[in-house]
Structure 1
Amino acid sequence: MNQDLYNLLNILKINPNLSQRELSQRLNISLGKTNSLLKKLLSEKKIKIVEIDSRTKRYYLEEEGENLRSDLILNSIEEAYYLIEKLKIKLKIIKKLNSILKTSINILLPKNNPTNSVILHILNSENINYRFFENIEDLKNMNKPIYIFHSNLKEELKSKNLKYINILEEI
């Protein structure tokens, strides 16, 4: 799923009175990319443009745009459910391994990552004994397995020559 497209449709649903520049700022993407997304949606008849004056345009969802938004929401929910189920299985396996080792699960959960709350919820709901770390620096003297769910940290971890790192696929 194109996250920017999904976010744009959601913003337009809630607040159609934004300029392209304001949409770009809210989406945290370039003005050019915002323009490209809007042109794509316009050509597919997902949105309509209302010109207020020669310099002011507003963007509104058409029925097809609302349908696309709904489809993207459903796909996102299905994808999240699937990933959560996979994560539960992996955590149960890790729990068994760590019960044999008689240690808690050590997990690196970087600050401000939206998936952290899901991971912590599953750990708590499955009664898994864990310790989590927010900073890679805290792992320097770790001599037990560390699990990481964010593959984008792989290169940074390699550069620090940390041992016992297990990168589980990103959720």
Structure 2
Amino acid sequence: MAKRIEDFTVTGNHRLTKDIFLLQIASSDKLPPLLPGQFIQVRVDDSPSTFLRRPFSIHDVDYEKNSIKILVQIAGKGTGKLSTLKEGERINIIYPLGNSFTQPDTGEKILLVGGGCGIAPLLFLAKDLRSRGFAPEILLGFRNSERLIEYDEYAAVGPVYVTTEDGSRGEKGFVTNHS
């Protein structure tokens, strides 16, 4: 699959927590086939200290709107700048990059596990699996209930189990220790 370098238009930038945003971008062209597990690299303009592109997992895709969603956690100047983008602004990305997840055999039980912003590629994967007849179960982990993101989107695809380190939502503990 050939990579593309293209300008996208910001169609939404929504704060999910104090430092995590859901950025939706749209192409004026038809999107190529994208695979769960692939990522994009975003150029951050007007920021001399951020000359390197920032990689982001593809969180979700809407082929009818030619749009891609990514989760952005503010970790420095580059991601801070991305969190301030307004609807209608343009950003340049390279995509699709990377490989997809290994595809399961028919009839296999599927459990998708992720924590924090590491859940980003799992929504696209869960939707893809569901469209192919699988019934994925989803296990999401967060520090606390205030950091819980995208629950309803995952719940629309399959059963969701939640862990929080402080026990404020779901089972107490780390996602890797879920019973």
- TM-score by length of structure 2 reads 0.29
Q: Which has the larger radius of gyration?
A: 1
- TM-score by length of structure 1 reads 0.30
Structure with a larger share of its residues in strand: 2
